[in-house]
Chain A
């Protein structure tokens, strides 16, 4: 006779191993990135309403809880970027004849591009 047993999928499946946990964190990171984008949009809108509104917005952020929140957001943003940068070689396969361009180069080019853009922004902001 045949009576297959189908193992149940526990609700805590994502806590089964480190790889799954890291994956969930990566997924979660997008929430924080999105929240920060919303905050940035608010900020832009305040800037549009004049210097006073902008100052008030900045002042409203001036407390330890917000600082902590921003540290967390930064950590998730970094996790998000790093994990995705490291995954690019899987998505983007570049071949030169029979040889595949090494993963390190593909992933590395992301980091380099990120650094260049960041420096450029910093240069613009600092004027």
Chain B
């Protein structure tokens, strides 16, 4: 399963490098969003709590606009049959999950860097902050990968994606926002432990459920 999954992931990366379906649009989206927030705020100083909320709103919408391509492009171009005829459903899902997690990591890193530079945010506990970003990244990509598989079969793909993923992601987003805020405030790992536990448990549940459900979604 892992060999097939890695081959599918490699194919997606080569395709992305050659076509730049997702990455160009994503970079523009992130730059435009952060610029609009910066200009609308002017010289006003926001609290750390608001900064944490804003950061995860940008991360959520950036991922919404990029991660659906992984299945939507296969359905739109009629290439999903190629995957159905060459790999098991579990390998396809794992390959797409690895690709989306990596892409999401790149997106989030870019968002965080640009956000910190432009919004003048001070991170008092850098280690816990990065831990929340990395764990949140896994949770976000796992939900968005299975939702991408679901919406790829529908007609209104673009609008359905954020609408369907938001309620599913709410518990994760609340924990990541809280964790990010606490790290801005200087809390250590011990204070963040409950948030970390929620994020890790949530991600495990989503990935397990996705593997169980994907066969039905993929073959329908």
Physical interaction between A and B: no
Where the two chains meet, the residues of B that have a C-beta atom closer than 8 Å to any C-beta of A are: none
